[in-house]
Amino acid sequence: MFTLADDAPGTTQLLMGNEAIARGALEAGVRVAAAYPGTPSTEVIESLARVAKRAGIYVEWSTNEKVAVEVVAGASFAGLRAITAMKHEGMNVAMDFLAHLNLTGIRGGLVVVVADDPGAWSSPSENDSRAIASWLRVPLLEPASPQEALTMTRWAYDFSEEFRTWVMLRSCTRVSHASGNVVVGELPKTSPIARFDTSRDFLAAPAVQKHAARLAQLPALQAALESSPFITYEGPPRPDLLVVASGVARLYAAEALAILGLQKSVGILHVGVTWPLPRKAIEEHLARAEQVLVLEEVDPFLEGNLRDLAGEVGWLTPKRSILGKRTGHIEAYGELTPQAVLRALALLLKVEFQPRSAEYEQKAQRYAQRYVVNRGIVWCPGCPHRGSLWAVKQAIRLDGRDGFVTGDIGCYAMDRGLGGYQMTKTGSVMGAGTGIASGLGKLAPFGFNQPVVAVAGDSTFYHACIPALINARYNKSNFTLLVLDNSATAMTGFQPHPGVGKTAQGDEAPVVDIEALCRGLGIPVQVFDPFDLDKTIPALVESLQKQAGVRVFIMRRPCVLLRPRDAKPPFRVWVDPERCLGDACGCGRYCIRIFKCPGLTWDATAGKTKVDEALCAGCGLCTAICPANAIQKEAVYA
């Protein structure tokens, strides 16, 4: 079985896009990698962590993206090649430092991978990170496939060192998470010595001079990109339409042309270097056609720059046009799909095309309804968040002043899903729940009397809640913060964090104790088991009613998915059919309709609730909520 640390030059391996990026970094001699997990970027660092010891590199999960960039910048300043990877939202966190790192310069090659999430499959926002590259004047690469991801990453390091700049490698979900055949290259045999040369510095100041120098360097940088291997053309010499595509859009274009049989009349220009645009190379290809369609993920970034360039070189005349998202031929939101490309091409070239018959659509719906369980977004059976948010709901309703939850990013955000309790009313970025609560908690003089509960996961707490919590303590804000400590960065796949006693490389690590940290801030802190509703609900009510500054509740219970597969559940849980009165109870199927654990299902034949033994995790929480005490549990001894 091939691993990324195996030196097998010239062999073809099946790699995921993110693994290919990692391999490219290894082939370039990267020594240090750091990141905070974030879908769809996580596997870049995760796969490096897996081979760190064999490859002789250092890999860490940092507390947040800004710290991660600082960590890899440190390595670069000491002359080592380094890599960091983040999702688009992580880039916002890292921005403060990145927006200075373009002025300080670097020494060892430094690649910043940003994996955007068009369609926001795993994100609360849908941003295009590429504008940041043009804003900060750093070169931008966009791979289309796993092979190109490897090649581009490897290539970026020499370029980075030559121009003393970090390089942005922009991926997106379909590149990062697609797997493909990749021909791997050679791994370096030697490792440089890390040393910070104190005869030079890495200061952003004097900013104006550094800014001027940055701009002065651009023509040379742009010229160097002219000869990069990442501008390629495929198609007839004089196409009816020139498709200019970046990233995965190139593959969609090729697929669409094959389906429509248009390969002979339409050409595809793949632009892998999207900022700054290599002027001569693009100009040469523009000359082939009168009409251009630009395909790219999220914003019309390439489209706009291409229009500028086309105007500057005199290509753009009233007879010629550049089409794309600005002209409405492609939607400027959501994920680009082969279907959307097919539709745009068929329209432009007046080709008859029906993406799929209406009958097919109906059939798909029918089958889906028959075979797919009708279930919305829901916490897993046994999830500790269900207990925590249930307690919050009960406490807020008992208090009766229309309290609410300021949410955060993590599995607990599923409170907003069909399987949640809809108590969460704000949610955007990590740490924001605590900061927003800090603000709301100061509004009493303006008549505000609603209790506020902020929630944050343990990993989120380390990532971004601490400054907000200090702010709340310092400014005497009034709210309750629930740290939902499930001992995991669960949503991105169980990466270790400062609370779990392990590093990214699997070594033992000191545990950063949230409780001690809060105590150190002078904040009252209590630890609860989220399944102990008898304790948590009254304690929460008391906290909501106390107008006494910020309080922290640590709701501690490991994520149910951390339980080994062969481990027995804590309880055997069943519904006593004698006690469950079904619809005669008057509870309105409380356990299913209100509590909503998927481990409980309605037995239509018996007219009662039953435990779905395939799903039930045996946590026993539901036994506390049945008004008829029909749900029973019995401890299971291993």
Partner 1 sequence: MATANGHGLQSLRQEVLEAGLCTYCGACSGLCPYLRPFQGRIAVLDPCPVVQGRCYSFCPRTGLDMDALTQALHGTGYDGSPLGPVRRVLMARSRDPEVLAHAQYGGVVTTLVCLALDEGLVQGAVLTRSQGGIPQGVVATRREEVLQCAGSHYLASPTLEALNRLSPRTVPVAVVGTPCQMLALAKMRLSPLAQRSNIGKVSLTIGLFCTWALSHKFLEMLSTVASPERVRKTDVPPPPARVFEVHTEAGVVALPLDAVRAYIPPACTLCADMTAEMADLSVGSAEGVPGWNTVLVRTPRGETLVERAVARGLLAVDALPQANLEHLTESAQVKKRRALQNLAQRSGRPTDFLYLRLSREVAGRLLGTP
List of residues contacting partner 1 (CB under 8 A): 393-394, 397-400, 586-590, 593-594, 625, 627
b/e map 292-326, b = 16+ CB within 10 Å: bbbbbbbbbbbbbbbbebbeeeebbeeeeebbbbe
Which residues lie below 8 Å from residue 125, measured CB to CB, with a gap of 6+? 88, 89, 428
Smallest distance, Å, CB 554 to partner 1? 25
Smallest distance, Å, CB 610 to partner 1? 19
Smallest distance, Å, CB 584 to partner 1? 8
Smallest distance, Å, CB 442 to partner 1? 24
> Phi and psi for 115 in degrees, rounded to 5?
-105, 105
Within 10 A of 51 (CB to CB), how many other CB atoms are there? 19
Residue with tokens 């360039």: 309
Smallest distance, Å, CB 633 to partner 1? 18
Q: Classify residue 508 by its DSSP letter.
A: B
Complex with partner 1: residue 23 or 385, whichever CB lies closer: 385
Complex with partner 1: residue 507 or 583, whichever CB lies closer: 583
Report the alpha-carbon distance of residue 284 to residue 281 in Å, rounded.
5
Complex with partner 1: residue 443 or 592, whichever CB lies closer: 592
Complex with partner 1: residue 574 or 590, whichever CB lies closer: 590
Complex with partner 1: residue 55 or 575, whichever CB lies closer: 575
Smallest distance, Å, CB 49 to partner 1? 44
Q: Which two tokens stand for residue 540?
A: 């929460």
Complex with partner 1: residue 33 or 587, whichever CB lies closer: 587
Smallest distance, Å, CB 453 to partner 1? 16
List of long-range contacts for 198-205, beta carbons under 8 Å, 24+ apart = 202/73, 202/77, 202/104, 202/105, 202/106, 202/107, 203/104, 204/100, 204/103, 204/104
Of the chain, the end-to-end C-alpha distance in Å amounts to 35
Complex with partner 1: residue 399 or 603, whichever CB lies closer: 399
Which residues lie below 8 Å from residue 526, measured CB to CB, with a gap of 6+? 539, 551, 552, 553, 554
Q: Going by DSSP bridges, is the β-strand pair 291-295/241-245 parallel, antiparallel, or unpaired?
A: parallel
Is the sign of the CA dihedral 169, 175, 177, 180 positive or negative?
Answer: negative
Smallest distance, Å, CB 622 to partner 1? 12
Angle at 528 between CA 526 and CA 530, to 5 degrees: 145
Complex with partner 1: residue 75 or 395, whichever CB lies closer: 395
Complex with partner 1: residue 237 or 588, whichever CB lies closer: 588
Which residues lie below 8 Å from residue 375, measured CB to CB, with a gap of 6+? 418, 419, 598
DSSP of 29-53, one letter per residue? TEEEEEE---TTTTHHHHHHHHTHH
Complex with partner 1: residue 6 or 399, whichever CB lies closer: 399
Smallest distance, Å, CB 602 to partner 1? 13
| CA-closest candidate to residue 7, choices 56, 43, 44 | 56
Smallest distance, Å, CB 590 to partner 1? 5
Report the alpha-carbon distance of residue 311 to residue 147 in Å, rounded.
33
